[in-house]
Structure 1
Amino acid sequence: MRKYGVVDTTFSRVNMGDIAERTIKKEDNDCEIKRYTVPGIKDLPVAAKKLIDWGSDGVITLGWVGRTQLDKYSYLSTSIGLIMVQILTSKHVIDVTVHEDEAEHPDDLVRIAEDRATKHAINLVRLVRDGESSLRGYAGKGLRQGYRNAGELS
């Protein structure tokens, strides 16, 4: 049985953890999901590492970044931490982050969060269940998460 980890934060303004869990269950009905909720984005790396240590085959982290420069620095440190978790464990950690300055209107932020969490949860299932070659057919297609696809150039 495949095991997925879902890490979300209380700082997020959309419950992306629920979205990711529902999507993973829909895409892979033979799985176990462990969820870990932390206060903010700087707590994501240790939670992801714990879920991998507890047997997760891959993890999706769902964070929300505020508008200030300090928030952006916090995200940078989080991103480096998540990369380190991947290097140390040889497991995929899909970083899903919504930056509050991506949109002015709250409805747009909700749409971005829902789309990004859903598409990346599907990506995680494909990587864990089907292996890396499952994404090869999508290479160079300009696929986006949170926005309309950009499309390929050639």
Structure 2
Amino acid sequence: MKRIGIADTTFARVDMARAAVSTIKKEASVQIVRYTVPGIKDLPVAAKRLLEEDDCDIVIALGMPGPADKDKMCAHEASSGLIMAQLMTNKHILEVFVHEDEAKDEKTLAWLAEKRTAEHALNALSLVFHPQTLTRLAGTGQRQGYEDAGPIEGGSAGYPGH
């Protein structure tokens, strides 16, 4: 049976893992292993442990950085650590960060956190079970949370003016 790891934090103001678990359980029969840590900079080791010690096939790393410059720097450091953990384990870690300043109010922030998490949970299932479905979406401007951006037409026609 496939195993999906979910690493989340107590710092987040929304229980993003609940949205991930709910989405995954509706779509697939997998074992879910959750590892909660205090803050966003703790996510890389949590994700690496889920992959190596708990034998997860993929990890969804959930975090909600605050709006201060210090929070953004911590998010960048956590992101760098998650990338290193992916390279060390040769397995995917889907980083799902929702910055507190991405929404105009708390209700919208909660909606965004849940929606982005659910959409990335579906991406995790695609990577584990049907990676070719993502290939079909390449270049289509997919966005997790808000509305998709859509593709830019005419790119294959060459650079204008040359």
Question: Structure 1 length as normaliser, TM-score?
Answer: 0.96
- Which residue of structure 1 lines up, in the alignment, with residue 160 of structure 2? none
Residue matched to 1:135? 134
Match of 2:122? 122
1:83 and 1:101 map into 2 onto residues whose CA distance is 24
Question: Alignment length, in residue pairs?
Answer: 152
AA matched with 2:132: S
Q: Which deviations, in whole Å up to 9, do the C-alpha atoms of 1:35-64 show, x marking residues without a partner?
A: 001111000000000000120000001100
Corresponding residue SS for 1:8: strand
Alignment partner, residue 25 of structure 1: 25
1:71-150 superposed matches below 5 A: 71-130=71-130, 132-150=131-149
SS of equivalent to 2:62: strand
Q: Which amino acid aligns with 1:151?
A: G
The 8 Å contact of residues 2 and 129 in structure 1, kept in 2 or not, is answered as no
Query: CA RMSD, aligned part only?
Result: 0.8
Q: Percent identity?
A: 49
- Partners of 2:92 and 2:132 in 1: how far apart? 14
The Cα of 1:153 is off from its aligned counterpart by 1.5
User: How many Å apart are 1:133 and its aligned residue?
Assistant: 2.1
- Runs (4+) of structure 1 exceeding 2 A deviation are none
Deviation of 1:19 (Å):
0.7
What SS does the aligned partner of 2:48 have?
A: helix
Distance 1:3 1:103 in 2: 32
Distance in 2 (alpha carbons) for counterparts of 1:10 and 1:59: 17
Aligned twin of 2:159:
none
Q: In 2, are the aligned partners of 1:7 and 1:47 still within 8 Å (CA)?
A: yes
Q: Spell out, residue by residue over 1:86-135, the C-alpha distance to the aligned partner (whole angstroms, 9 max, x if none).
A: 001010000000001111211110111011000000000110122x3220
Structure of larger gyration radius = 2
SS of residue matched to 1:65:
coil
- How much does 1:28 deviate? 1.1
**Structure richer in strand, relative to its length:** 1
Match of 1:13 in 2: 13
State the Cα distance separating 1:146 from its structure 2 match.
Answer: 1.4
Separation in 2, partners of 1:27, 1:8: 21
TM-score w.r.t. length of structure 2 = 0.91
In structure 2, the residue matched to 1:39 is: 38
